[in-house]
Amino acid sequence: MNPSDILKKYFGYDSFRNGQEEIIKSILSGKDALAIMPTGAGKSLCYQVPALLLSGITLVISPLISLMQDQVKSLNEAGIHAAFINSSLTEAQITKALNLAAKGTYKIIYVAPERLESNRFMDFALNSEISMVTVDEAHCISQWGQDFRPSYLKIIEFINHLPVRPVVSAFTATATKEVKTDIECILKLNRPNVVVTGFDRENLYYSVEHAAGRRKDAFVIDYIEKHPGESGIIYCTTRKNVDSLYEMLFKRGIPVTSYHAGIDNNTRKKNQDDFIYDRAQVVVATNAFGMGIDKSNVRFVIHYNMPQSMENYYQEAGRAGRDGENSQCILLFSAQDVIIDKFLLDNKNFEEMDTEDIELIKQRDSYRLQVMEGYCKTTSCLRNYILEYFGEKTFSPCDNCGNCHRDYTEADMTAEAKWVINCIAETRGRYGRNIVTGTLVGASRARLREIGADTYRSYGVLSDISEKDIQILIDQMLRKGYIVQTNGEYPVLQMGDISALKQEDTRVLIRKFGDKEIPFSGSRKK
């Protein structure tokens, strides 16, 4: 049989999606693989299909117990011999599973990374033919990733112990350069075939609405009532927000349910099913909701609060429109959200980690938050902002997002950009954006006099522009890399690569929106 036959016979699909066949073929040719594909793109098939064609067993290392169980269940239903071994099993069940595995009963075995260190498991692995080791959610190996798991670092030791080195394949939806490099190096992938498929989800319409407090509630109610019968998820940062928003929507007579880790297991499962089987139109949830949920007709995802990272946002918003139909991803932003997110990060639980690691992770968390805040504040194309963050090249604005559809005029701020550069040179890269904007508009603030900014040549040169517009200009310059902002508690602005700015034909354009109120339910493109 060839891969297409397997696809049809066991999974019932007629054709491969973008990237799948390439990965499968390269695995079958014995090459290591690293696949970076967005959530929902169909990563699982990329290792399940070759697993059935390779002679021995495929071990799939996965961090999520519930995901393992779901996958094994659907594989078994498709007539494929698969099993999982994790902490949800009793010792007796593990013994039984390992005995069956040793007899060659299973083609695919899912394991949690911790299991690789157990003697019994190692014993089984040493005496079996392991054709492939697949590392799912491979970003967990990187401290740059959103959920670093120290146990992932042990995978390579396990592989090294095996009598014959298996093919190693790694899968993730996180595409940043640092994570990619970490995966390749730490897993010691052997000249892997790296396949990155596009992160663009054309059917998703992204928009950001600036709204605080009651206006958020009004927005949500208005949106749901204008889209009757459309299935949607509303994400909130805290359980408290979930409960109160749920309560409010329920009182309005909206068919709504809720989901967070504080709700007891049975009710939570029932609420989830109510949403999946369309008994409840809307679910209000924390980000605990959605892992491994494959509901195709979600028409909107509203974020009631700003998430802590673009990785999270992309994944959560990406639960809309899996069926390819037009869907909306709306983020309700208020400055308060940033404060709450900072608070949550400051109070993150770092049990059992080195202080050095903690410091590093904190820096990265704060960088991610800055990126997310930038998304909420940018006046440029939102889709391009997301794609650029994930390392994709973009060309023109998408004409299919909230910012592209707002009325705007483009202002040439090349000259002003050069003053920003001059000012940063005068601060010698020691100060943050408020000092820089204050200096440029010539604000009379004690702090500016204290550091002698009022004697700079750039002091007051842009007094005819608002500080807000200079902030927008600074955002744009950061994105272009002309200037950089350090991480940490007091980020400062420093010189970036200004070679492009020195060329005659380089223009720095910023978009200015009219004063009109932003329309509530951004027009959906047909």
Find which of Zn ion, ligand ADP, none residue 383 binds, CB within 5 to 8 Å per kind: Zn ion
Q: Residues 61, 172: contact at Cβ < 8 Å? A: no
Least distance to Zn ion from the beta carbon of 203, Å? 14
The sign of the torsion formed by the CA atoms of 244, 249, 253, 256 equals negative
Q: Judged by CB, which is closer to Zn ion: 44, or 384?
A: 384
Question: Phi-psi region for residue 379, left (φ > 0), alpha (ψ -120 to 50) or beta?
Answer: alpha
Q: Is 387 in the site for Zn ion (CB under 5 A)?
A: no
Least distance to Zn ion from the beta carbon of 383, Å? 5
Least distance to Zn ion from the beta carbon of 37, Å? 22
Residue nearest to ligand ADP (CB): 42
Q: Residues 381, 401: contact at Cβ < 8 Å? A: yes
Find which of ligand ADP, Zn ion, none residue 13 binds, CB within 5 to 8 Å per kind: ligand ADP
**Tokens matching residue 232:** 């949607």
Least distance to ligand ADP from the beta carbon of 437, Å? 42
Q: Which of residues 25-64 bind ligand ADP (CB under 6 A)?
A: 37, 39-45
Backbone angles phi, psi at 173, to 5 degrees: -105, 0
Please identify, among the stretches 75-83, 318-326, 398-406, 473-481, the one whose residues bind Zn ion according to the rule CB under 5 A. 398-406
Beta strand 204-210 with 483-485 is unpaired
Least distance to Zn ion from the beta carbon of 384, Å? 6
Q: Residues 431, 485: contact at Cβ < 8 Å? A: no
Q: Residues 245, 284: contact at Cβ < 8 Å? A: yes
- In which residue are the tokens 């994105």 written? 479
Q: Judged by CB, which is closer to ligand ADP: 104, or 324?
A: 324
Alpha-carbon distance of 46 to 54, in angstroms, equals 13
Alpha-carbon distance of 332 to 312, in angstroms, equals 15
The residue from 51, 130, 404, 421 that contacts Zn ion (CB under 5 A) is 404
Find which of Zn ion, ligand ADP, none residue 404 binds, CB within 5 to 8 Å per kind: Zn ion
Give the total of residues touching ligand ADP (CB under 6 A). Answer: 13
Q: Is 16 in the site for ligand ADP (CB under 6 A)?
A: yes
The residue from 216, 383, 433, 511 that contacts Zn ion (CB under 5 A) is 383
Q: Judged by CB, which is closer to ligand ADP: 294, or 412?
A: 294
Least distance to Zn ion from the beta carbon of 328, Å? 14
Beta strand 108-111 with 256-259 is unpaired
Q: Which residues contact 146 (CB under 8 A, 6 or more apart)?
A: 139, 174, 309, 311, 312, 368
Find which of ligand ADP, Zn ion, none residue 44 binds, CB within 5 to 8 Å per kind: ligand ADP
Please identify, among the stretches 47-55, 394-402, 450-458, 484-492, the one whose residues bind Zn ion according to the rule CB under 5 A. 394-402
Q: Judged by CB, which is closer to Zn ion: 15, or 396?
A: 396
Amino acid 169 reads S
The residue from 167, 381, 387, 510 that contacts Zn ion (CB under 5 A) is 381
Measured CA to CA in angstroms, residue 343 lies from 28, 91, 338, 369 at distances of 48, 41, 9, 12
Q: Is 285 in the site for ligand ADP (CB under 6 A)?
A: no
Least distance to Zn ion from the beta carbon of 378, Å? 10
Amino acid 33 reads A
Amino acid 160 reads N
Q: Which residues contact 501 (CB under 8 A, 6 or more apart)?
A: 414, 417, 418, 421, 482, 508
Least distance to ligand ADP from the beta carbon of 37, Å? 5
Largest CA distance in the chain: 81
> Which residues are at the interface with Zn ion (CB under 5 A)?
381, 383, 397-398, 401, 404
> Which residues are at the interface with ligand ADP (CB under 6 A)?
13, 16-17, 20, 37, 39-45, 294
